[in-house]
Amino acid sequence: MSRERQETWRARVGTLGFDLVRVAALTPPLHDGLTEWFASGKHADLDWMERTAPKRLDPQLVLPGAKSIVMLGVNYWSPKSAGNPTWARYASHEDYHDTIKLGLVAAGRALEEIFDAKSDDYRYYVDTGPVLEREWAARAGLGFVGKNAMLISRTHGNWLLLAAILTRMELEPDEPIRKKIVNAEPDGDRSIGLLCGKCTRCLDACPTEAFAAPGVVDARRCISYQTIENKGVIPRELRPGIGRRIFGCDVCLEVCPWNRFAREGRRLLLSARDDLTELPLRDILELTPVRFAALFRGTPIKRLKWTGLLRNACVVAGNAGDGDALLLPQLVRLASAPESALVRAHAVWAVYRLGGGSELAAARAAEADPIVLAEYAAEAGSGRAT
């Protein structure tokens, strides 16, 4: 392929709102780091990832004849506070899967125009397809995989949303970041902590000790998994570590020294929804299913559904301490709410944490669901029950 045409296309894609556009060759294949992760159970119940593992490791199973992958990064850092309760920073936008996809559609059309490609010569994904985005991004030189298992950019820190375009065209690959690792074993394409040095801030800061090793996340202990992907009961032993984080967790990103280079992005492919992350906890605890659907339509938070968000809100309320005892009436009401045993169970925990267990006598007497009764039994064993 003509390098000149490739650079013309790269510049065009940059005008769409992609902050980094780089290319990697699909050979040799990526280092297989997934098998051990799945075998050890660290993927929790993310079975869909295990089912698609062969495709993640071999892009030919996704797009036969593919030769190159274009990795794109969208900077989503902004100086605005994540809110209180705390939301993952990306949650303060409309769903990036939808907004970034618009840019990918335009990037694909530019491929067809500049390279005379056909529509079936490429396939794109925004964090939804069977693609190992971080590993390919590292090979393409967008950054390196840090000890926090995230892609870290030398120019944008930890704040890049990634998208990928697989193509049958043989584009000229860009150079990855290279540096000899001192006192560490290279891990194939990942080269964990390539530019981290001796820093372990991300590992040390994790509130639930979710890192089994540098670059290895145990999803079962990860706050992001528990507050977003887990659709059931959040383990009691992890709830205190969740603190005031109601949706996702940015701790291992925020503490990274590479963020000193981060600057506010153009956000041409993002649509801010700062109003959502400014919601007081008391208002969230009052949400009805209808209000939830209307408020969070078109946002990543919609994935939680009403029950998931209220479950998380109860955990946050239980971690608030005596200063938020005014939340007790709302929590007592939720502990009796007929709509969801999942919400009732976490509300029971929160009420006891705030010292209001005596107000649950009627709810406890009427309770029949096993998961809620298990919460009452656990509280009785903890000595907090009255």
- Distance (Å, whole) CA 222 – CA 44: 10
Q: What is the pLDDT of residue 1?
A: 55
Q: What is the pLDDT of residue 224?
A: 98
pTM (predicted TM-score): 0.93
Segment 349-367 shows an average pLDDT of 92
Q: What is the pLDDT of residue 83?
A: 65
pLDDT bin (cut points 50, 70, 90) of residue 188 is very low
Closest CA to 46 of 55, 34, 30, 57: 34
Between 84 and 107, the higher pLDDT residue: 107
Between 267 and 191, the higher pLDDT residue: 267
Segment 185-205 shows an average pLDDT of 81
Q: What is the pLDDT of residue 183?
A: 43
Which residue out of 98, 127, 204, 369 is catalytically annotated? 127
Asked if the model's pLDDT at residue 324 lies above 90, the reply is no
Asked if the model's pLDDT at residue 323 lies above 60, the reply is no
Residue 127 a catalytic site member: yes
Asked if the model's pLDDT at residue 386 lies above 80, the reply is no
Domain ranges of the chain: 3-78+93-167, 279-386
Segment 184-193 shows an average pLDDT of 59
Q: What is the pLDDT of residues 228-270, one digit of tens each?
A: 999 999 999 999 999 999 999 999 999 999 999 999 889 999 9
Q: What is the pLDDT of residues 101-123, one digit of tens each?
A: 999 999 999 999 999 999 999 99
Q: What is the pLDDT of residue 205?
A: 98
Asked if the model's pLDDT at residue 327 lies above 50, the reply is yes
What is the 3 state secondary structure string of the chain?
CCHHHHHHHHHHHHHCCCCEEEEEECCCCCCCCHHHHHHCCCCCCCHHHHHCHHHHHCHHHCCCCCCEEEEEEEECCCCCCCCCCEECHHHHECCHHHHHHHHHHHHHHHHHHHHCCCHHHEEEECCCCCCCHHHHHHHHCCCEECCCCCEEECCCECCEEEEEEEECCCCCCCCCCCCCCCCCCCCCCCCCCCCCCCCCHHHHHCCCCCEEECCEECHHHCHHHHHHHCCCCCCHHHHHHHCCEEECCCHHHHCCHHHHHCCCCCCCCCCECHHHHCCCHHHHHCCCHHHHHHHHCCCHHHHHHHHHHHHHHHHHHHCCCHHHHHHHHHHHHHCCCCCCHHHHHHHHHHHHHCCCHHHHHHHHHHCCCHHHHHHHHHHHHHCCCC
Q: What is the pLDDT of residues 132-151, one digit of tens each?
A: 999 999 999 999 999 999 99
Q: What is the pLDDT of residues 30-67, one digit of tens each?
A: 876 888 899 899 999 988 888 988 999 899 999 999 99
pLDDT bin (cut points 50, 70, 90) of residue 180 is low
Of all residues in the chain, the percent with pLDDT exceeding 90 is 80
Closest CA to 365 of 356, 350, 349, 376: 376
For the chain, the average pLDDT equals 92
Q: What is the pLDDT of residues 259-301, one digit of tens each?
A: 999 998 899 999 999 888 889 999 999 999 999 999 999 999 9
pLDDT bin (cut points 50, 70, 90) of residue 344 is very high
pLDDT bin (cut points 50, 70, 90) of residue 377 is very high
